[in-house]
C-alpha cells in the first residue's frame, strides 16, 4: 500500500488506519521535535502531490480487509502536512460517502487561516491541530514555519475554524524541556488556548527521535505544571507503541520499512510489535535493511531507532 498504513493503536483514536497524502517530508513547518527528521521541502504550496483518485481507491480497497468495528478512525497523517494536498477536501468528502468510519485529520493547523482549507476540513469528524507556543518568538523557534506563516495567522485560523467546525477539536501541544515548559511560555500558551477554546488539549512529549538532537523530554514536574496551566481540558497523551501489520506486504522487511517511514521505531518497539520473530532474526534483518540503504539507524536519548532511509536528522544542530 502506498498511501494507507497501520492500523495504529492510539489512545486518542483507538485503532486508526492512517492515510498519508504527502511525500516525505513535505511540510510548511520544520519543527525541532519532528520525529520524521528535518523538512526536506519547506513549502506552502498546495497542490495534488499524489492523484486524489488513487488515494481514495486505495483507502476503499484497504477498508475491505476489515470487518465492521475493526477500525475506529481513518486518520490523515504521516509523512508531512496533509492540508498541503490541494484535493484533501474532495478526498475527505468522497470517503465520507464511502464509509461510516469517522475521519480525523492531524494537522499543524497553519493553513486554517485560508477559507478553502477550513472548508476542506469541515466534513471531518475530528481535527487535531498543533499549538506549541503562545508567542511569535517561540512559534518561530519551535515550529520554524515557512516565512509567510506568522503566529497571528496561526491564531486567526485556529479561532476561525473553531467557530465554524462542529466536530471534535483537539489541540496538541508538544512540550519541550527549556522551550515551552517555562512559566512564561506556559502562561502565553494558556492565554492562546483560552482564546481558541478547544474541546481538549493533548500534551504530547517528544519521546521519538527529534529532528534536532538537543530537544529533550521535560521532567514530571514540568509536565504537571503544563497540565495545571492549561486547565481542565488538558491531559497528557504519550504516544502508544506502534505495531507492524505484516499482512498486505510481500515480506517482513517491507512491512518494517513502510512503518518506520512514518513512525521511527526503537528496537524495543520492534521486538514488542513482532514478538513472534526471534530477536536474533530481527537484528539480522535490521542489519540487512540498514546496510542495503532501505532504513537508517540513529541514536537518540541513548536509544537506537530505525527511520526512513530518506530522513535527515542533524546530530549537531541546536535549537538556538
Residues that bind ligand SF4 (CB under 6 A): 27, 29-31, 34, 36, 39, 80-81, 108
Cell 500558551: give the residue: 189
Choice between 80 and 209, CB closer to ligand SF4: 80
Least Cβ distance, residue 305 to ligand SF4 (angstroms): 16
Pick between residue 81 and residue 94 the one whose CB is nearest to ligand SF4. Answer: 81
- Closest contact distance (angstroms) between CB of 30 and ligand SF4 is 5
Rounded CA gap, 269 and 312, in Å? 21
38 vs 286 by CB, closer to ligand SF4? 38
Nearest distance from C-beta of residue 76 to ligand SF4, angstroms: 12
* Residue with smaller CB distance to ligand SF4, 36 or 55: 36
The residues, ordered by sequence, that sit 6+ positions from 205 with a Cβ below 8 Å of its Cβ are: 174, 175, 217, 218, 223, 236, 238
- 177's CB contacts (< 8 A; 6+ apart) are 215, 216, 217, 218, 219, 222
Residue of 128, 1, 22 whose CA lies nearest to 73: 128
> Containing H/E element for 253?
helix 252-262
CB 82 within 8 A of CB 121: no
| Complex with ligand SF4: residue 34 or 256, whichever CB lies closer | 34
Angle at 78 between CA 196 and CA 143, to 5 degrees: 50
Q: Which of 145, 146, 77 is nearest to 106 (CA)?
A: 77
Tell me the closest approach of the beta carbon of residue 29 to ligand SF4, in angstroms. 4
In angstroms, what is the minimal distance from the CB of 32 to ligand SF4?
A: 9
CB-wise, 69 or 315, nearer to ligand SF4?
315
Q: In Å, how far are 170, 171, 207, 297 from 20, measured between CA atoms?
A: 20, 20, 22, 23
Phi first, then psi: give them for residue 298, nearest 5 degrees: -145, 160
**Which residue lies nearer to ligand SF4 by CB, 24 or 190?**
24
The CB-of-189 to ligand SF4 minimum distance in angstroms stands at: 17
Do residues 173 and 202 lie in contact, with contact meaning Cβ atoms separated by under 8 Å? Answer: yes
Decide: 282 and 290 in contact? Cβ < 8 Å: no
- Least separation in angstroms between CB 220 and ligand SF4: 24
CB of 43 to ligand SF4, least distance (A): 11
Q: CB-wise, 266 or 311, nearer to ligand SF4?
A: 311
Residue 28, CA atoms < 13 Å, CB-side half-sphere:
23
Amino acid at each position: 500500500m502506498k498511501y494507507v498504513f497501520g492500523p495504529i493503536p492510539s489512545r486518542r483514536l483507538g485503532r486508526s488506519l492512517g492515510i498519508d497524502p504527502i511525500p516525505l517530508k513535505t511540510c510548511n513547518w520544520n519543527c525541532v521535535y519532528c520525529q520524521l527528521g528535518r523538512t526536506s521541502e519547506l513549502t506552502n504550496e498546495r497542490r495534488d502531490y499524489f492523484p486524489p483518485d488513487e488515494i481514495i481507491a486505495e483507502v476503499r480497497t484497504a477498508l475491505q480487509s476489515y470487518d465492521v468495528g475493526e477500525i475506529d478512525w481513518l486518520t490523515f497523517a504521516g509523512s508531512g502536512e496533509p492540508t498541503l494536498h490541494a484535493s484533501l477536501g474532495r478526498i475527505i468528502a468522497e470517503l465520507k460517502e464511502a464509509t461510516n468510519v469517522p475521519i480525523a485529520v492531524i494537522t499543524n493547523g497553519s493553513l486554517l487561516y485560508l477559507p478553502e482549507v477550513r472548508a476542506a476540513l469541515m466534513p471531518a469528524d475530528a481535527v487535531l491541530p498543533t499549538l506549541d507556543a503562545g508567542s511569535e518568538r517561540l512559534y518561530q523557534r519551535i515550529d520554524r514555519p515557512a516565512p509567510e506563516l506568522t503566529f497571528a495567522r496561526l491564531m486567526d485560523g485556529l479561532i476561525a475554524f473553531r467557530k465554524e467546525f462542529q466536530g471534535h477539536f483537539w489541540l496538541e501541544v508538544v512540550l519541550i524541556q527549556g522551550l515551552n515548559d517555562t512559566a512564561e511560555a506556559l502562561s502565553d500558551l494558556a492565554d492562546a488556548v483560552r482564546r481558541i477554546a478547544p474541546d481538549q488539549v493533548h500534551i504530547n512529549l517528544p519521546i521519538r527521535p527529534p529532528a534536532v538532537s538537543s530537544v529533550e523530554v521535560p521532567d514530571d514536574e514540568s509536565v504537571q505544571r503544563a497540565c495545571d496551566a492549561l486547565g481542565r481540558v488538558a491531559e497528557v497523551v504519550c504516544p502508544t507503541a506502534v505495531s507492524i501489520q505484516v499482512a498486505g506486504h510481500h515480506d517482513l522487511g517491507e512491512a518494517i520499512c513502510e512503518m518506520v517511514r512514518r513512525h521511527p521505531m526503537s528496537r524495543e518497539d520492534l521486538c514488542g510489535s513482532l514478538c513472534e520473530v526471534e530477536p536474533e532474526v530481527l537484528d539480522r534483518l535490521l542489519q540487512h535493511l540498514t546496510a542495503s540503504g532501505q532504513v537508517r539507524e540513529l541514536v537518540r536519548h541513548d536509544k537506537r531507532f530505525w527511520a526512513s532511509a530518506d530522513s535527515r536528522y542533524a546530530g549537531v544542530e541546536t535549537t538556538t
